[in-house]
Amino acid sequence: MILLYVLGFAAALLLSLVMTPFVKQFAGWVGAVDKPNARKVHTRIMPRLGGLAIFAAFVGGVLIVIPAIDSIKVEAVWGLLIGGAIIMLTGALDDRFELSPKLKLLGIVLAACVVVAFGLKVDLVNIPFGDSSVSLDWLSIPLTIFWIVGVTNAINLIDGLDGLAAGVSAISTGTILTLAFIMNNGTVMLLSAILLGSIIGFLFFNFYPAKIFMGDSGALFLGFSIATLSILGFKQATFVSFIVPLFIIGVPLSDTFFAIIRRWVNKRPIFEADKGHLHHCLLHLGFSHRTTVLIIYAISIVFGTVAVVLSQTSQWMTVVLTAIVLLVLEMGGEAIGIFSKGKKPVISFFQKLFWPKTPQSASRTRLK
């Protein structure tokens, strides 16, 4: 059985390596290119239809391996393939014609509805620190759609540097694969292995300096796939299984949260694009393009490791670890200026708590 997972990974990897150069030529031919502007980091016109290669490699890998497996959940495969096709097409149209946000959202919601139609949704919520559970009934549908839309947009939001979204998605997919192995979930293991191969093959052409961008076709498809696979692995939303998927996508999710807070603090429209994201802040601190991407990879690995650890701990330990991670995350965000250049409330609080200014030090400060 393990050999089939390896075969799926290898087949998708090879297909992605072979198909990406052809997609690059196709993107230039149809005019699906990304032009530089004041908000973007790149300085030359780049083809941006890379998601087509990722999706095609994923589909090819599935078709090669699925006939040899009897225990796979067919509805999960169809939900991911049909929903993925819809969302990839939505992204591809945006790569070429720059769709309005409403049309893109419509495509994402439609793909999420396909997933729900195939029965892939959160079913139960277990009450924390107790044995009882509550059936979500009709709420399971909007909750599932909200999760897919949120994760999809979060991945799309961090697609700002060469190899960034692809690498973070690969780490998130690898985390899901690890958790699926621990839980002995063969369907999620197989689909995650194939998706991981598709991403890594594309990343060969997308890492700095990139030869092609994944575009919205890639970012939306990867976000959709990660969201759907996490639902497959954590259908019953216990306290722990609700927290774990959040850590799997910790980097894009926190960057999205930071963006909302930053725009609110600075009295800017919530959906207004800016240059205050995590990768922008690291670049402003003087890190190179490549180093910035590698730093964010490392942060993603930490989040993924925490997700795996949390899946094996008690609920009380989950609360403690989550609180610690959130505190470190908040202080790190304040330190690099991701919220605001001047406002650092948590850091200021700890400075006053552990290093209070004495009257002498305050007077010396005034003399200076």
Q: What is the mean pLDDT of residues 351-366?
A: 59
Cα separation, 18 vs 24, whole angstroms: 11
Nearest alpha-carbon partner for 87 in 61, 123, 46, 54: 54
Instruction: Indicate the pTM of the whole model.
Output: 0.85
Instruction: Tell me the per-residue pLDDT of 46-64, one tens digit each, with 9 for 90 and over.
Output: 898 999 999 999 999 999 9
Question: pLDDT confidence of 237, banded at 50, 70, 90?
Answer: very low
Lowest mean pLDDT among 182-196, 283-297, 329-343, 350-364: 350-364
Give the per-residue pLDDT at 3: 87
Question: pLDDT confidence of 260, banded at 50, 70, 90?
Answer: confident
**Greater confidence, 294 or 120?**
294
Give the per-residue pLDDT at 195: 97
Give the per-residue pLDDT at 23: 96
Give the per-residue pLDDT at 312: 75
Q: Hunting for tokens 């190179």 — which residue is that?
A: 288
| Burial of 127 from C-beta contacts in 10 A (0-12 / 13-18 / 19+) | exposed
Residues 91, 99 contacting (CB under 8 angstroms): no
**Greater confidence, 137 or 225?**
225
Give the per-residue pLDDT at 323: 81
Q: What is the mean pLDDT of residues 187-201?
A: 95
Relative to beta strand 133-135, strand 46-47 is unpaired
Question: pLDDT confidence of 236, banded at 50, 70, 90?
Answer: very low
Give the per-residue pLDDT at 51: 94
**Greater confidence, 95 or 73?**
95
Question: pLDDT confidence of 341, banded at 50, 70, 90?
Answer: low
Give the per-residue pLDDT at 339: 61
Nearest alpha-carbon partner for 206 in 367, 319, 32, 46: 46
Neighbouring C-beta atoms of residue 181, cutoff 10 Å? 16
Give the per-residue pLDDT at 367: 47
Give the per-residue pLDDT at 314: 66
Instruction: Tell me the per-residue pLDDT of 303-338, one tens digit each, with 9 for 90 and over.
Output: 888 888 877 776 677 777 778 877 887 777 777 766
Residues 233, 176 contacting (CB under 8 angstroms): yes
**Greater confidence, 287 or 196?**
196
Nearest alpha-carbon partner for 165 in 154, 175, 180: 154
Question: pLDDT confidence of 205, banded at 50, 70, 90?
Answer: very high
**Greater confidence, 155 or 126?**
155
**Greater confidence, 347 or 219?**
219
DSSP string, 72-104: S-HHHHHHHHHHHHHHHHHHHHHHHH---HHHH
Nearest alpha-carbon partner for 86 in 115, 110, 119: 110
Domain extent listing, the chain: 2-355
Give the per-residue pLDDT at 134: 55
Give the per-residue pLDDT at 342: 64
Q: Where are the beta strands (DSSP E) in the chain?
A: 33-34, 46-47, 124-126, 133-135
**Quick check: 129 pLDDT over 50?**
no
Report DSSP state, residue 210: P
